[in-house]
Amino acid sequence: LKDKYDVIIIGAGGAGMTAALEAKENGMNPVIFEKMAAAGGNTNKSSSGMNASETKFQQEQNIEDSNDLFYKETLKGGKNTNDTDLLRYFVDHSASAIDWLDSKGISLNNLTITGGMSVKRTHRPEDGSAVGQFLVNGLVRNVQEQDIPLFVNADVKEITEKDGKVTGVKVLLNGEEEKTIEASAVIVATGGYGANMELIAEVRPDLKGLVTTNQEGSTGDGIKMIEALGGTTVDMDQIQVHPTVQQEQSYLIGEAVRGEGGILVSSEGKRFTNELDTRDNVTAAINKLPEKSAYIVFDSGVKSRVKAIQQYEEMGFVIQGDSIEALAKEINVPADQLQATLDTWNEAVKNKEDAEFGRTTGMDNDLSTGPFYAIKIAPGIHYTMGGVKINTNTEVLTTDGQPIPGLFAAGEVIGGLHGSNRIGGNSVGDIIVFGYQAGVKAAEYVKAQ
């Protein structure tokens, strides 16, 4: 560890590692501090994939898409409350972010769909596995190849400044020794506050008692440190509750299970919503059921297309029945009703018309190949849309809209991009697009000093 670097990156999730790689690419000597014992953050847990439009992989697979449509659907999903400058920048740079990852040996060429999107623009690893671990492993490999120092158990406590300009950080190493490290620029990539139950209870008392899918390091440290320097926040009360969380282990069941054809059924064995509506709407539908939980039901076809299901199986979440009747017995729902639900659904898939709930996506294949499966789920805290305010240069802004010199932020720590409801697959896009931009802009800033 040196006393001085060009750029300090706080947090080794997707945004932080991307920023570090790009800072290095632009001639900087960066360092990454991660407070947990390993890199990865919430990024490591992300499942669905990375949303991007007008990509070469979509083109190769004859999927018609446009940045404008991606923009429009994200804005609709966010209930028209998204920061439109950030959103425009995000969709317009999504395809180049896919190419950038590809150039780093992190190829996301398998396409699926998530709630609120009308076309396949969720990019995931070739074998259909969860995006998070694949992405984190790929980024860590690149960080190592580029000889970028990454310190774990390095908890940044404060960002230092002099005359309004950032000068470095104070970091606690291995819980023992606090050091002041200098840098002309600091990139805050500390993630969200989805594991900070105190803060959540403060901004959203109604969410008290819910489980969280967040890794324990997501405590909003970056937000507090930025506020101490005069940075401002937006949308702090916008917290995403994910509809499909396995409750005992607070484990998220990825949207791809529904995107590839799974349905949700109640304890009566009936569907009750368009399963691929936005996360807030699906959550509301589950909460309206008397039991406030549901089963995701799928067949062997879905299982073969979603690799993460193997992992869910290993974790003991998946209930199996050789026939629909056998599955109904296992999950204690009326067998004739479950059979009728699947028959109606399979007809809907065949006719491409879901008369009951108006679902239009994730209907390429019906649910007819046994064995059949179910996973019990209920909503859980998943993502914090709110955070610090930045502009499209990833500069952190004060209450009167002025950039704080030398201070940049990217990833879940920022607010505004997703409005009041994040679309599945958009946070991975977010961390790569804005992580990259933070690396570039921090380097430009340092060179100009």
Could you confirm whether 279 is annotated as catalytic?
yes
Q: Is residue 15 involved in binding ligand ADP (CB under 6 A)?
A: yes
Instruction: Tell me if 11 contacts ligand ADP by CB under 6 A.
Output: yes
Closest CA to 406 of 370, 446, 362, 436: 446
Which residues, numbered 37-56, are part of the site for ligand ADP (CB under 6 A)? 40-43
Of the pair 217, 269, the CB lying nearest ligand ADP is at: 217
Binding mask 141-160 for ligand ADP (x = CB under 6 A): --------------xx----
Q: Please give the residues from 165 up to 224 whose contact with ligand ADP meets the rule CB under 6 A.
A: 189-191, 217-218, 221
| Contact between 115 and 362 (Cβ < 8 Å) | no
Nearest partner of 430 among 361, 383, 381, judged by Cα = 383
148 SS3 class: coil
Residues 6+ apart with CB under 8 A from 272: 264, 265, 266, 285, 288, 289, 294, 357
Question: Which of 210, 308, 423, 431 forms a contact with ligand ADP (CB under 6 A)?
Answer: 431
Is residue 277 within the footprint of ligand ADP (CB under 6 A)?
no
Nearest to 385 by CA among 79, 123, 51: 79
**Least Å distance between CB 441 and ligand ADP?**
16
Nearest approach in angstroms of CB 188 to ligand ADP is 9
| Least Å from the CB of residue 371 to ligand ADP | 35
| CB closest to ligand ADP, residue no | 13
Bridging pattern class, strands 239-246 and 150-151: unpaired
- How far CA 429 is from CA of 135, 234, 290, 315, 357, in Å, comes to 12, 20, 36, 28, 29
- Taking the C-alpha atoms of residue 69 and residue 425, their distance in angstroms, rounded to an integer, is 15
Is residue 19 involved in binding ligand ADP (CB under 6 A)?
A: no
Taken in order 79, 80, 86, 90, is the CA torsion positive or negative? positive
**Which of 378/409 has CB closer to ligand ADP?**
409
362 vs 439, which CB is nearer to ligand ADP? 439
* Spatial strand order in the sheet of 7-10: 150-151, 30-33, 7-10, 185-188, 403-409, 395-397
Q: How far is the CB of 300 from ligand ADP (least distance, A)?
A: 33
Q: What binding mask, one character per residue, do residues 329-368 give for ligand ADP by CB under 6 A, x or -?
A: ----------------------------------------
- Choose which of 35, 93, 422, 441 interacts with ligand ADP (CB under 6 A): 35
Residues 402-421 touching ligand ADP, rule: CB under 6 A, are: 411-412
Q: Residue 305: which H helix or E strand, with range?
A: helix 300-305
CB-CB contact of 48 with 427 (8 Å): no
- Residue 207 has what DSSP assignment? G
The one catalytic residue among 124, 279, 305, 359: 279
By beta-carbon proximity to ligand ADP, the closer residue of 38 and 207 is: 38
The C-alpha atoms of residue 10 and residue 435 are separated, in whole angstroms, by 12
Q: Which residue, 302 or 417, has its beta carbon nearer to ligand ADP? A: 417
Catalytic (active-site) positions: 279
Name the residues that contact ligand ADP, by CB under 6 A: 10-16, 33-36, 40-43, 155-156, 189-191, 217-218, 221, 411-412, 431
